[in-house]
Amino acid sequence: MQDASDGRVLMLAWMDDEALRLTRETGEAWFWSRSRERLWRKGETSGNVLAVEEIRDDCDGDALLLKVRPAGPACHTGSTSCFAPALWRTVVERVRERPEGSYVASLADAGVARCAQKVGEEALEAALSAVANDGRLVEEAADLVFHLYVLLAVAGVDVAAVEDELARRVKPSAA
Ligand SMILES: [Zn+2]
């Protein structure tokens, strides 16, 4: 499954003949769940259906590329894509499900302002570490990226939007 608008790879799933027939008939993606052994319509519980714009088959006919317009995050974690960085998928899932004892969940409960404050603190620590050359820049940068992910997730912004923005800024001549 590939986002028809920006080419982003969203997810991979299994189809059988019936799933393909239903997909063609309804214009929404249907799959075969090997674990549940049944057909399922993507978004049947989440509402995040995939409207199918185009179906292509590969050279030996054993794989299909679906170009879709997603109604919401394709991944069950709440991430736009199943192929987003693992850390992002984990953070989004914790923000969504707020498991007991999770640090991310406690930050999410505290709200956007608290998450923003943490990003500010971690950014300052990373900057000071770099200037002091104290050998802690990797740890401080990891703290910063982690808390930035939490802030984005709590603010309801997918990291894919940040990637898109960065991609827009790359000048063709610099590539
Ligand atoms: Zn996923």
The domain ranges of the chain are: 2-70, 86-174
Nearest to 33 by CA among 9, 44, 24: 44
**What topology does CATH give the domain 2-70?**
Ubiquitin-like (UB roll) (3.10.20)
CATH fold, domain 86-174, is Helix Hairpins (1.10.287)
Residue 73: phi and psi, rounded to 5, are -55, 135
Mean pLDDT of 26-33: 98
Mean pLDDT score of the chain: 96
User: Are 81 and 1 in contact, with CB atoms under 8 Å apart?
Assistant: no
- At 131, the pLDDT band (50, 70, 90 cuts) reads very high
Q: How far apart are CA 24 and CA 65, in angstroms?
A: 13
Using the mean position of ligand 1's atoms as its centre, give its distance from the Cα of residue 171 in Å.
31
pLDDT digit string, tens, across residues 61-112: 999 999 999 999 999 999 999 999 999 999 999 999 999 999 999 999 999 9
Give percent of the chain above pLDDT 70.
98
Q: For residue 74, how far is its CA from the centre of ligand 1 (angstroms)? A: 7
Spatial distance between the Cα atoms of 99 and 108, rounded to a whole number of angstroms? 11
CA of 75 relative to ligand 1 center, distance in Å: 3
| Gap between the terminal Cα atoms of the chain | 27
Prediction pTM value = 0.85
Distance of CA 76 from the midpoint of ligand 1 (Å): 5
Q: Are 50 and 66 in contact (CB under 8 A)?
A: yes
